[in-house]
């Protein structure tokens, strides 16, 4: 009963946090400098034309009224209409969201297992040359900004070797292998960005468990170091590892803006940047809310996984 209560509290907290973020997103776009109507009509627009457009867009309404109108639309699946092209935002966002999730999925497929394997290897050979090599690579990877990693990959693998395209253009009719080749460089860049953090946290979590008394008992029984890590230490370190993985999965979706811009990838990040330059406020609000929802949901899943994996909560005395 206690575990269900804790899960319900996490879900309720996630919903409240998403509501608070929606207020911040709306308020943030409200205080942006400039005039939306003027940016749409241009500098030569007459005052009457500007007034008519503001009335049409509802910009003359109080901010609180426009917020609840926008929130009500979001709750019913209506994200509004883009100011720049008058297209339905939900219809325009869906292909972009699929592209971003496709890129994030394949980056996660590579980075998560690799991080776990490297983390366990670093523990198995701790303080040896394998551990130092892996830790040195992780430190170097986390020290480099993602845009630098992206440009280095483009320079070597697209310009010098000509193995992959520098622009990651994809579309629904594209064959799967061509699509995979197109996302190879941005997926590699994302993998390098999140791999080091997950690996280092996996190593730290397992090393913390290795100090426990039952690990010493397993060693006295004659189990190999790799078996101890795989069968005893890793399962008991899963809660903090899951938290780190979920945080990095959230980054793979939410933090792709820079990578998508560098590789001109038609995902949510590129879509957001394109419409920020046009000062298309409804699009910025919709994309910001989707990013926030993904981030909060994955963090909520991490919290729930930590609750469920806690044996003292699963088997209370």
Q: Which of 17, 44, 75 is the last residue of a domain?
A: 75
Claim to verify: residue 278 and residue 216 sit in the same structural domain: yes
Note whether 201 and 101 are same-domain residues: yes
On whether both 65 and 105 belong to a single domain, the answer is no
- What is the domain range of residue 161? 94-307
Q: Are residues 105 and 232 in the same domain?
A: yes
Same domain flag for 57 and 100: no
Neighbours of 31 (CB within 10 A): 7
In a domain, 239, yes or no: yes
Per-residue pLDDT tens digits of the chain, which is 317 residues long: 677 787 888 888 888 998 999 889 888 877 766 666 666 666 666 777 767 767 766 667 777 887 888 888 888 888 877 877 778 888 888 888 888 888 889 999 998 898 888 888 888 787 788 878 888 887 777 777 888 888 888 888 888 888 888 888 888 788 888 888 888 899 998 888 888 888 888 888 877 877 776 666 766 676 677 777 767 677 777 777 887 888 888 888 887 888 888 888 888 888 888 887 777 788 888 888 888 888 888 888 888 877 776 666 555 55
Q: Could you tell me if residue 251 is inside a domain?
A: yes
Residues 44 and 99 in one domain: no
Residues 61 and 99 in one domain: no
What domain count does the chain have? 2
Q: Are residues 150 and 187 in the same domain?
A: yes
- Token readout for 104 is 């994030």
Query: Does some domain include residue 29?
Result: yes
Shared domain for 66 and 177, answered yes or no, is: no
């Amino acid at each position: 009963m206690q575990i269900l209560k804790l899960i319900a509290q996490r879900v309720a907290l996630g919903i409240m946090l998403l509501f608070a973020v929606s207020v911040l997103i709306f308020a943030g776009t409200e205080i942006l400098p400039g005039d939306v109507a003027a940016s749409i009509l241009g500098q030569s627009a007459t005052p009457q034309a500007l007034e008519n457009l503001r009335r049409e867009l509802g910009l003359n309404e109080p901010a609180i009224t426009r917020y609840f109108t926008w929130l009500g639309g979001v709750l019913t699946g209506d994200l509004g209409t883009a100011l720049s092209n008058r297209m339905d935002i939900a219809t325009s966002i869906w292909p972009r969201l699929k592209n971003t999730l496709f890129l994030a999925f394949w980056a996660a497929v590579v980075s998560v297992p690799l991080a776990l394997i490297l983390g366990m290897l670093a523990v198995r050979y701790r303080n040896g040359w394998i551990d130092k090599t892996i830790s040195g690579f992780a430190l170097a990877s986390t020290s480099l900004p993602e845009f630098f990693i992206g440009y280095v990959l483009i320079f070597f693998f697209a310009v010098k070797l000509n193995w992959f395209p520098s622009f990651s253009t994809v579309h629904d009719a594209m064959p799967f292998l061509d699509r995979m080749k197109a996302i190879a460089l941005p997926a590699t860049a994302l993998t390098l960005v999140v791999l080091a953090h997950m690996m280092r946290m996996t190593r730290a979590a397992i090393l913390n468990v290795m100090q426990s008394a039952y690990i010493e008992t397993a060693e006295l029984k004659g189990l190999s170091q790799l078996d101890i890590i795989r069968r005893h230490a890793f399962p008991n370190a899963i809660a903090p590892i899951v938290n780190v993985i979920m945080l990095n999965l959230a980054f793979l979706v939410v933090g792709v803006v820079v990578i998508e811009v560098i590789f001109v990838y038609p995902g949510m990040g590129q879509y957001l940047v394109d419409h920020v330059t046009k000062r298309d406020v409804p699009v910025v609000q919709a994309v910001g809310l989707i990013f926030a929802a993904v981030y909060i949901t994955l963090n909520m899943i991490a919290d729930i996984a930590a609750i469920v994996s806690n044996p003292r909560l699963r088997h209370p005395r």
